[in-house]
Amino acid sequence: MPARNVAAVIFFTIVAVFFVFGALMTHPFGDPGNPEMDQYIIDNTQGETGADNGVTSVVFDYRGFDTLGEATVLFTAFAGVIVLFRRLKK
């Protein structure tokens, strides 16, 4: 077995051990502590944005910049695919 495979196995084992311990030590499932920000959004989403759907109000109003960046990523992917395949088309 070459040295690169040994290094890969050691790296994978270390990452796996850290992930498993992290999963076992996280807070229990269904109990995320005291989320003040999310509770504020849940309480005020009807009054402030008028929407019934809390997720839509977060996506388009409270965190609109996230959606803007994500739309930019989709636009860039479309442009990148067209540019990559333009030369092959002929």
Partner 1 sequence: MSGMSKIVKTISSITFPFVTIYGLYVIAHGHLTPGGGFQGGAVVASGCAMILVAYGSVWTMGKIKEKHLSVLESFGAIGFIGLAFLGLIFGTMFFKNFLVGNDFLFGEIGKGLSNISTAGALPLMNFAVGLKVIAGLFGIVLVMAYTTKAKGGKIE
Partner 2 sequence: MIYNIPYIAVVALILIGLYAVIFKRNLIKIVIGITLIESGVNLFLITLAYRQDSIAPIYHGEISRLMSLPVPHALTLTSIVIGVAVLALMLSLVIHIYRHYGTLDARKIGREEE
**Contacting positions for partner 2 (CB under 8 A):** 8, 11-12, 15-16, 19-20, 22-24, 26, 28-32, 35, 37-38, 41-42, 45-46, 52-55, 57-59, 63, 66-67, 70, 73-74, 76-78, 80-81, 84-85, 88
Residue 23 Cβ, how far from partner 1 at the closest point, in Å?
Answer: 28
Task: Quickly count: other Cβ atoms within 10 Å of residue 33's Cβ.
Answer: 6
The residue written with tokens 């890969």 in the block is 8
First to last CA, the chain: 46
Contact 89, 82 (CB under 8 A): no
Q: State yes or no: residue 69 binds partner 1 (CB under 8 A).
A: no
Give the Cα separation of 64 and 37 in Å (integer). Answer: 16
Residues near partner 1, by CB under 8 A: 46-53, 55-57, 59-61, 64-65, 67-68, 71, 74-75, 77-79, 81-82, 85, 88-89
